[in-house]
Structure 1
Amino acid sequence: MLEERDVQIRGYKIRLPLDVLLVASANPEDYTNRGRIITPLKDRFGSQIRTHYPLETETEVAIMRQEARPASVGSVTVNMPHYMEQVVATFSHLARGSNQVNQRSGVSVRLSVSNLEVLGANALRRGLRAGEQVVVPRVCDLGSLAASSSGKIEIESMEDGREGLILENLVKAAVLTVFKEELSFEQVRDVLAAFEEGAIVHTGDDVPSADLARLVAEVPALQAPVARLCGGDESPAALAAAVEFVLEGLHLSKRLNKDITSGSGAATYRGRS
């Protein structure tokens, strides 16, 4: 009926006015992030339908906020800071441009939505263990992104066991990208000076937010970059997340050393001198 636009009834041609709404979907193999025409839909409906993944991270973040289900248990709430949303969206964008990811299979926005939910859930788990009522995802929660993306992104590698490493490197690249967008070197110069004088910071799942939040008062150089990231939120969870993000950004910029305790997820940041 869609193809011929009429119906034959015992030799009589009857043309029926159609008033229908068509909903169609396509496999990733049927289109690319460059917006190619979806061939199967064109063949069936004669329509010039074009599609593409979000070209800007802000667009992807808006979709993530709309579609993701916030994590919460009882009175415990999870507040997702904008820079962590940007990390999730940037992770997907970097994966779409990586030659280690099968671009024919694609990296859909559904992955970003799922990763945002998993990040919030992992932070909620940590907060429940620490007895916190307000939880903000931290860098130590980002390990969940590589785990949740495994199997949803098709990695092109000839070596077995490289999938996890490739995904972890994409997460690190996303953090570094967002860090450079959010903070300039001038804003963190004094933080580096504090670590060169011997400051040491321990982070990880088992470190309460209050402990990291106290560093803002103990290391005055952290106040300016942390305030910029928090955007007025002075809760211990928000301050802790911002502190950890600044330290991880400096580490990925090769300006701080980071010692990781295998198996526990705990980390220690120290100066390079």
Structure 2
Amino acid sequence: MAYYKLSTTELLAITTLGALKKAGYVSRSVKQELRDNLIAKLQAKEDVFPGIYGYEETVIPDLQRAILSMHHINLLGLRGQAKTRIARLMVDLLDEYIPVVAGSELNDDPLQPLSIFAKTLIAEKGDDTPVAWMHRSDRYTEKLATPDVSVADLIGDADPIKAATLKLPYSDERVIHFGLIPRSHRGIFVINELPDLQARIQVSLFNILQEGDIQIRGFKVRLPLDIQFVFTANPEDYTNRGSIVTPLKDRIDSQIITHYPKSIEVGKRITKQEARIKPEQKGMVVSNEIMHDLVEQVAVEARASEFVDAKSGVSARLTIAAYESLISAAERRALLNGEKKTYVRIADFLAAVPALTGKVELVYEGEQEGAGIVAEKLMGKAIRTLFLTYFPDPDKQKKKKTIPNPYKEVQDWFGAGNTVDVLNDGSDQDYHQALEQVPGLRGIVSFLHPKEDKDTTFFLMEFCLHGLAEHSLISRNRVTAGTQFKDLLSSMFTMPSFGGDEDDEEEERPRKRR
């Protein structure tokens, strides 16, 4: 196609149908366009879907095969699995610019006019028909399926105001007001949450998907639309809120199943990419890989939890929001204490509970526990799991009496009635002094992680206390301004376990007896 040899400037200089023909323009369907450009990118070893991690061996190959086959596509998966993001990235496979008949509401191809407007204009002006250039970003349309969506919204309807203004009878095709789908001619049209679309509305898509035309009221109009359809759906919706009617499902050529990250490393890449950390936060708060691992482990624990509805899924937005929240918690502490720089703490991680409570769908047992309690339990499990990556397993120490217990000095100190309060908003100096009170704690960290800097050492000391509490060697209790560590036995007679305050505990007892 000769016109592709022109530069963008030369291309945009073409303003008439005659000049377009002279440049050698050849019409292509949008699916052919996607296919050709995908082939070019694959041959050039380019990243076709940048920023999409964890799908390199699964979803992306399936998607590329569907595009090469020129299929309509349904992306099926739980929430937070980048379905809409993938659909939006398909725009980059379109040509940068395509010619349209200037003033046409259906993006008419000058060589293959579709609407009455374009056909009439070309018949009148011939090669002098004005041509405009449409950027690929304008060729993407997205519609969220909601119960109030009508056939008129998607397909179109007769417009009485237009008929009265133009003094036309209702039998005239020019009184039609076209919906979103006809206006997406020569582009990509995405319907999110397809099962939420009422069945009678889904039926209106049959002809478009199979024959490529539309039917509006009583008009004998056939518009061979050229559209790449992409649908997204959640498996939960098939039973809870609606379903995709069988004939429509049959007309969608490829159904591609998405999934959550299969490793913590992939999850970390996604969170680091998507988390909106301000430049001033990056300058003030120093984080580490352990904290990233903890955030991702919370999502892993949630997806396996008996309190969380597995069919609903746990979105990647949970880890993104949690990481943003913990960074903000550290920033707030530094601002309150007048510190220019601070290092993240486990306390910041635990302060991210509000970022979790709205991101998980609880089953009955979870509702009984309460969203906040479930969130804290998930965080506790994440700490317990990752603790074994950095410290010896306390359970093995109990079983094998011949192995020296590295935690004995710490346990004995708490067993003597000592306590440590780690305040959420305490200054770095207060934080360090609190942790230094515990004899043997620094020794454990220094022996296992001798090369760590001062800040990371204190972080690991706090991490060690939380890990020991999760393994029931010491007690961890929530106090108003932070966390208190003490002997496990004494805590049974004084304060409630981590995950609720004293008032909550008193309210729970009568309910449990009932």
Q: TM-score range with shorter-chain normalisation?
A: 0.7 to 0.9
Task: Tell me if the contact between 2:284 and 2:340 (Cα under 8 Å) persists in the aligned partners.
Answer: yes
Partners of 2:318 and 2:251 in 1: CA distance: 28
Q: Which residue of 2 aligns with 1:57?
A: 264
Q: Partner amino acid for 2:232? A: S
TM-score between both structures, scaled by the size of structure 1: 0.76
Change (3 A) 1:265 1:196: same
Q: Which residue of 1 aligns with 2:8?
A: none
Q: Which residue of 2 aligns with 1:241?
A: 459
Does 2:471 align with 1:264?
Answer: no
CA shift for structure 1 position 84: 1.7
Q: Which residue of 2 aligns with 1:35?
A: none
Q: Which residue of 2 aligns with 1:99?
A: 306
Q: Partner amino acid for 2:275? A: A
Q: Partner amino acid for 1:257? A: S
CA shift for structure 1 position 264: 2.0
Structure 2, unpaired ranges of 5+: 1-206, 215-219, 398-403, 491-514
Does 2:466 align with 1:254?
Answer: no
- Indicate the SS of the match to 1:129: helix
CA shift for structure 1 position 44: 5.6
Comparing both chains, which one has the higher relative contact order based on Cα–Cα distances under 8 Å and sequence gaps of 6 or more?
Answer: 1
CA shift for structure 1 position 72: 5.4
Task: Tell me if the contact between 1:75 and 1:133 (Cα under 8 Å) persists in the aligned partners.
Answer: no
Change (3 A) 1:268 1:21: same
- Once the two structures are superposed, residues 177-225 of structure 1 have per-residue CA deviations (whole angstroms, 9 ceiling, x without a partner) of 1112232248994344144145753312143223444656984652453
Change (3 A) 1:14 1:251: closer
- Once the two structures are superposed, residues 129-153 of structure 1 have per-residue CA deviations (whole angstroms, 9 ceiling, x without a partner) of 1222222332222333322222221
Does 2:432 align with 1:207?
Answer: no
Q: Which residue of 2 aligns with 1:193?
A: 409
The total of aligned residue pairs comes to 262
Change (3 A) 1:149 1:242: same
Partners of 2:446 and 2:270 in 1: CA distance: 27
TM-score between both structures, scaled by the size of structure 2: 0.43
CA shift for structure 1 position 173: 0.9
Of residues 165, 178, 182, the one that matches 2:373 is: 165
Q: Which residue of 1 aligns with 2:326?
A: 119
Does 2:4 align with 1:4?
Answer: no
Of residues 445, 457, 482, the one that matches 1:225 is: 445
Task: Tell me if the contact between 1:190 and 1:221 (Cα under 8 Å) persists in the aligned partners.
Answer: no
Task: Tell me if the contact between 2:333 and 2:426 (Cα under 8 Å) persists in the aligned partners.
Answer: no
CA shift for structure 1 position 2: 5.3
Partners of 2:209 and 2:428 in 1: CA distance: 62
Q: Partner amino acid for 1:3? A: L
Partners of 1:256 and 1:218 in 2: CA distance: 12
CA shift for structure 1 position 89: 1.1
CA shift for structure 1 position 164: 1.8
- Indicate the SS of the match to 2:482: coil
Structure 1, unpaired ranges of 5+: 32-37
Change (3 A) 1:167 1:220: closer
Q: Which residue of 2 aligns with 1:152?
A: 359
CA shift for structure 1 position 234: 2.9
CA shift for structure 1 position 58: 1.9
Structure 1 window deviating more from structure 2 (223-232 vs 49-58): it is 223-232
Q: Which residue of 2 aligns with 1:177?
A: 385
CA RMSD across the alignment: 3.9
Change (3 A) 1:97 1:161: closer
- Indicate the SS of the match to 2:421: strand
Partners of 2:378 and 2:263 in 1: CA distance: 18
CA shift for structure 1 position 230: 9.4
Partners of 2:423 and 2:449 in 1: CA distance: 20
Task: Tell me if the contact between 1:30 and 1:39 (Cα under 8 Å) persists in the aligned partners.
Answer: no
